[in-house]
């Protein structure tokens, strides 16, 4: 198997994302075979690199490599383009023409956007995959070809099969080895690396200093949704390189080049008055804050009782109101005894996770009032999330249910990093 780093260097691939590395490793492993490969991923993620890698590291590398964009070929001429035609087979066929499968015999054909292929052509492609046979348009003679096929699509093919737009048997024949490329939004750690690569490329092309990003601009770049993936990032980098006179790009300036940034990154406000409009996470937070408030009131009442403040029966009623509902039968309720120097019973947890009760004398009691500041709780949760994921902000942000940009801002606000 070829080393992944050498593949990246040879084909100019930037990034260290696990999903990207898995795709490259699979491509290098399958290159030495003749298995069909189906590459999937959103438009603009770089699917065209995979068939080039497979061809370059295969035994077919000295023969032809032909890339065919099925979506750009009119349905009426698809068969002629792929399989060729004979003279007089249709209007305008003034001579015989070789198709791509004849031209690439012994080599590799990359069928990009294969889901755009007409159904009648799909039948003929299936025959090529199974038997290596095809017939030119207008001919009656079967021809043989030895071609490695790598196909790619950004369409959900199982859904296309349900809609009757793609043959199920062709899908399974093409999908002998599936390779999926991750979207750029899931490779936030690679976004700035790609930006720098593109910035230096355009600096060299246009003979100017390379643009650079401020820390806030980097955070904005990494938190953008990137609907156009790497292709969109490259275009925006080129725009910045040409249009901006200042070489150090601030976040405020970068955001003018990112369409709908606010709509794709900022969380919706919590509507506490309408719980049905709240997400599960938001409802959980609401319950937690209400519970903290009840615990705080309970502590205050207990503290007043211990210190002999107020009417003890009234305070006992307050405790009963704050605690969960218990048995309604008075005979089942515990007896209440009041002493001048009472013993307070308080729940605690032991190491084995079993709740037990401990007792302490009032004279030794020390009241600890827990902070109910939302800011303090938020800071505490952020610290725990960062500790849990060893400082990896992307994973911590996902755990907290906020964007990395928001987490970056909170870290600076609370001076956590």
119-151 confidence digits (pLDDT tens): 999 999 999 999 999 999 988 899 999 999 999
CATH of the domain at 217: 1.10.8.60
**Average per-residue pLDDT for the chain:** 81
- Here the tokens at position 68 are 């065919």
- Once rounded to an integer, what is the mean pLDDT over residues 149-172? 95
CA distance 18 to 1: 17
Same domain, 158 and 290: no
Same domain, 48 and 138: yes
Q: How confident is the model at residue 356 (pLDDT cuts 50, 70, 90)?
A: very low
CA-based torsion, 285, 290, 293, 295: positive or negative: negative
Q: How confident is the model at residue 183 (pLDDT cuts 50, 70, 90)?
A: very high
Neighbours of 417 (CB within 10 A): 10
pLDDT of the residue at 190? 96
pLDDT of the residue at 395? 83
CA distance 64 to 58: 12
Q: How confident is the model at residue 18 (pLDDT cuts 50, 70, 90)?
A: very high
362-400 confidence digits (pLDDT tens): 444 444 455 556 777 778 888 888 888 888 888 887 888
How many domains, the chain? Answer: 4
Same domain, 384 and 311: no
**Residue 306, domain member (yes or no):** yes
Same domain, 154 and 301: no
Q: Which helix (H) or strand (E) holds 205?
A: helix 188-206
Same domain, 79 and 139: yes
Same domain, 190 and 68: no
Same domain, 163 and 292: no
318 versus 172: the higher-pLDDT residue is 172
**Residue 315, domain member (yes or no):** yes
407 versus 323: the higher-pLDDT residue is 407
Same domain, 59 and 161: yes
Specify burial of residue 37 (Cβ count, 10 A radius: 0-12, 13-18, 19+). Answer: buried
**Residue 168, domain member (yes or no):** yes
DSSP letter for each residue of 268-296: PPP-TT-GGGS-HHHHHHHHHHHHHHHHH
Nearest in space to 304 (alpha carbons), one of 347, 337, 342? 342
CATH of the domain at 409: 1.10.10
Nearest in space to 91 (alpha carbons), one of 78, 81, 76, 103? 76
* pLDDT at 261 exceeding the cut of 70: no
Q: Which domain range does residue 116 map to?
A: 4-182
φ, ψ for residue 328, nearest 5 deg: -85, -15
pTM of the model: 0.62
The helices-and-strands tally (H runs, E runs) of the chain is 18, 13
CATH of the domain at 146: 3.40.50.300
Same domain, 175 and 54: yes
pLDDT of the residue at 276? 47
Percent with pLDDT over 90 in the chain: 57
pLDDT of the residue at 332? 44
Sorted by sequence, the CB contacts under 8 Å of residue 317 that are 6+ apart come out as: none
Same domain, 33 and 152: yes
Q: How confident is the model at residue 260 (pLDDT cuts 50, 70, 90)?
A: confident
* pLDDT at 73 exceeding the cut of 50: yes
- Once rounded to an integer, what is the mean pLDDT over residues 31-44? 95
């Amino acid at each position: 198997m070829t080393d992944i780093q050498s593949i990246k260097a040879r084909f100019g691939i930037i990034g260290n994302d696990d999903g990207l590395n898995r795709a490259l490793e699979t491509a290098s492993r399958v290159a030495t075979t003749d298995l069909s490969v189906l590459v999937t991923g959103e438009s603009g993620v770089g699917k065209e690199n995979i068939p080039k890698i497979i061809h370059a590291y295969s035994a077919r590398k000295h023969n032809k490599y032909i890339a065919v964009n099925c979506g750009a070929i009119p349905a009426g001429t698809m068969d002629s383009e792929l399989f060729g035609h004979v003279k007089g087979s249709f209007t305008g066929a003034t001579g015989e023409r070789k198709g791509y499968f004849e031209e690439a015999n012994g080599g590799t054909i990359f069928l990009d956007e294969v889901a755009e292929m007409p159904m009648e052509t799909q039948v003929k492609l299936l025959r090529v995959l199974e038997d290596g046979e095809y017939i030119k348009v207008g001919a009656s003679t079967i021809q043989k070809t030895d071609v490695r096929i790598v196909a790619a699509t950004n369409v959900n093919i199982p859904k296309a099969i349900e809609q009757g737009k793609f043959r199920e048997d062709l899908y399974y024949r093409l999908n002998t080895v599936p390779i999926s490329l991750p979207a750029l939004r899931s490779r936030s750690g690679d976004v700035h690396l790609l930006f720098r690569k593109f910035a230096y490329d355009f600096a060299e092309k246009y003979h100017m200093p390379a643009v650079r990003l401020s820390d806030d601009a980097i955070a904005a770049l990494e938190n953008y949704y990137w609907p156009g993936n790497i292709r969109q990032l490259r275009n925006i980098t080129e725009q910045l390189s040409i249009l901006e006179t200042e070489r150090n790009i601030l976040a405020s300036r970068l955001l003018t080049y990112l369409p709908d940034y606010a709509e794709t990154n900022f969380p919706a406000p919590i509507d506490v008055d309408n719980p049905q409009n709240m997400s599960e996470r938001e409802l959980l937070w609401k319950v937690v804050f209400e519970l903290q408030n009840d615990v705080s009131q309970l502590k205050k009442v207990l503290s007043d009782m211990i210190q002999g403040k107020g009417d003890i029966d009234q305070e006992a009623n307050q405790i009963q109101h704050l605690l969960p509902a218990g048995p309604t039968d008075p005979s089942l309720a515990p007896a209440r005894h009041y002493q001048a120097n009472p013993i307070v019973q308080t729940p605690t947890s032991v190491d084995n996770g079993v709740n037990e009760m401990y007792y302490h004398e009032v004279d030794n009691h020390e009241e600890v009032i827990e902070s109910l500041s939302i800011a303090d709780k938020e800071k505490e949760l952020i610290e725990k999330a960062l500790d849990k994921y060893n400082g990896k902000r992307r994973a911590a942000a996902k755990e907290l249910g906020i964007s990395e940009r928001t987490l970056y801002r909170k870290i600076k606000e609370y001076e956590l990093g």
